[in-house]
Amino acid sequence: MGDDNAMISLEISSDEAGRRLDSLLAARCPEFSRTQLARLARNGKIALDGRPAKPGAIAAAGQRVVFQPPESPLTKLEPDYGLEISVIYEDEDILVLDKPWGLMAHPGAGRREPTLAGGLLARNPRLNGVGEHLRPGLAHRLDRDTSGVLITAKNEPALRALSEMFGRRETKKIYLAFVSGRPRNDCGLVDAPIGRHPTQRRKMYAGAPRGRAALTYYKILRHFPKTGLSLAALRLVTGRTHQARVHLQSLGLPVLGDPVYSRGPGDLVKKFPSLGPLIKRQMLHARRLTIVHPVNSTEMTFRAPWPSDFRIFLREILALEKA
């Protein structure tokens, strides 16, 4: 399998058990793409407990994966000095910020664009070595085009405590979303496991037979009958990949502007042309996060203000409703 000095060796955790090998490796090693890792496995260059494993091999807790990384991985995080970070709260142990949409939380495979992780490193070089090398201090993440509250740790004990808190579902995460449609019930619980789509690899889907448990409470805050849109609040009990977007789609309420789980706003924009220029991303915002402070054990709630595009969009919808 190549030069032993270059080998990467990982043990499968209990939380990762039952997942596809290429999927969990892509999550554990974000410097490599899933495509790169799948190609290595197909070529017999990834071993699971000493035996070559296929990309779709299902991993078990305690198994060890060994592989030689693809060429030219992104192995070092560079500081992004020009990145502006909007701070909500900061002390000696944590930094809570309002992530803008359009910014990646950490580098992906082959990407050299500015990231939140790079901005954090530029702001505080001592973060280098706190957690994984490409995402120092990050206890959780938000999708590139999701805005809102994101908490980071400034030291290893705080990061470990926050990561365990998220893993034990002891945080409270509230999101806002503009969605297409209105459900039969204006509030409820979506209890549907989420897994990788069998044929469309960019997508996750609800109800996957081998998916991971996922729980989302939802409430329609306001429905706009003329446009057919709704403003929804979501409480994510778990934190699965694309959870809010996937569970909303399963209700027939795709997030407006979502490039993966929505058909696009074509019909809406044809009927209401003024909305077109205002839909620049998936309209999903992490509004509120409640945690227990990792050091002093105080319960704390942090809020991100409504982003400017949400405010402008709501103002236009209300104007259309009155017209």
Q: Which residues make beta-bridge pairs with 52?
A: 47
Q: What is the mean pLDDT of residues 2-11?
A: 62
- Give residue 88's pLDDT: 98
Query: Residue 46 has which token pair?
Result: 């990834």
194 and 227 fall within a common domain: yes
Q: Calculate the alpha carbon distances from 60 to 57, 96, 132, 261 in Å.
A: 10, 35, 22, 30
pLDDT bracket for residue 297 (50, 70, 90): very high
Name the token pair of 178.
Answer: 């503009």
Question: Which range is least confidently modeled, 111-120, 217-226, 286-295?
Answer: 111-120
Residue 109 has pLDDT above 60, yes or no: no
pLDDT, position 106: 81
Instruction: Tokens for 185, please give them.
Output: 């019930």
Same domain, 302 and 182: yes
Q: Are residues 159 and 179 in the same domain?
A: no
Res 71 pLDDT > 60: no
Percent of the chain having pLDDT more than 70?
A: 93
Average pLDDT value for residue range 104-111: 69
pLDDT for position 315: 97
Q: Which of 205, 231, 214 minimizes the C-alpha distance to 287?
A: 231
Selecting among 80, 143, 145, 258, the annotated active-site residue is 143
DSSP 55: T
254, with CB counted inside 10 A (0-12, 13-18, 19+), is: buried
Can you give the CATH number for the domain in which 283 is found? 3.30.2350.10
Return the biggest CA–CA distance within the chain: 69
What's the CA gap between 224 and 243, in Å, rounded? 24
User: Which residue has better confidence, 13 or 6?
Assistant: 13
Q: Is residue 199 included in any domain, yes or no?
A: yes
**Better-predicted residue by pLDDT, 169 or 2:** 169
Q: Do 181 and 258 form a contact (C-beta atoms < 8 A)?
A: no
Question: Which tokens hold the place of 261?
Answer: 């789980």
206-214 average pLDDT score: 91
Could you tell me if residue 200 is inside a domain? yes
Query: What tokens appear for 236 in the block?
Result: 């994510």
Rounded alpha-carbon distances, angstroms, from residue 28 to 68, 73, 139, 147, 209? 15, 14, 13, 23, 23
- Structural domain span for residue 33: 4-67
Task: Give residue 201's pLDDT.
Answer: 67
Is residue 143 among the annotated active site residues?
yes
- On whether residue 56 sits in a domain, the answer given is yes
Q: Which of 23, 39, 67 is the last residue in one of the domains? A: 67
Q: Report yes or no: 115 and 103 within 8 Å, Cβ to Cβ.
A: yes
Distance CA 117, CA 119 (A): 5
Whether the pLDDT of residue 33 is over 80: the answer is no
CB atoms within 10 A of CB 14: 9
Least confident of 34-38, 158-162, 175-179: 34-38
Backbone phi, psi, residue 175, to 5°: -115, 155
> Is residue 162 domain-shared with residue 229, that is, in the same domain?
no
Check whether residue 194 and residue 273 sit in a common domain.
yes
Long-range CB contact pairs, 85-89, < 8 A, 24+: 85/116, 85/119, 85/120, 85/123, 88/149, 88/302, 88/303, 88/304, 89/300, 89/302
Closest CA to 229 of 293, 170, 282, 180: 180
- pLDDT tens-place string over residues 73-105: 555 788 889 888 999 999 999 999 999 999 988
Strands 215-224 and 229-236, by their bridges, are antiparallel
Q: What is the CATH number of the domain that holds 57?
A: 3.10.290.10
Give the pLDDT of residue 229. Answer: 97
Q: Number of folded domains in the chain?
A: 3
What's the pLDDT band for 219 if we cut at 50, 70, 90?
A: very high
- Predicted confidence band at 4 (pLDDT cuts at 50, 70, 90)? very low
pTM over 0.85: no
Residue 37 counted as domain residue: yes
Contact 65, 21 (CB under 8 A): yes
Q: Which of 24-28, 90-94, 108-112, 198-202 has the highest mean pLDDT?
A: 90-94
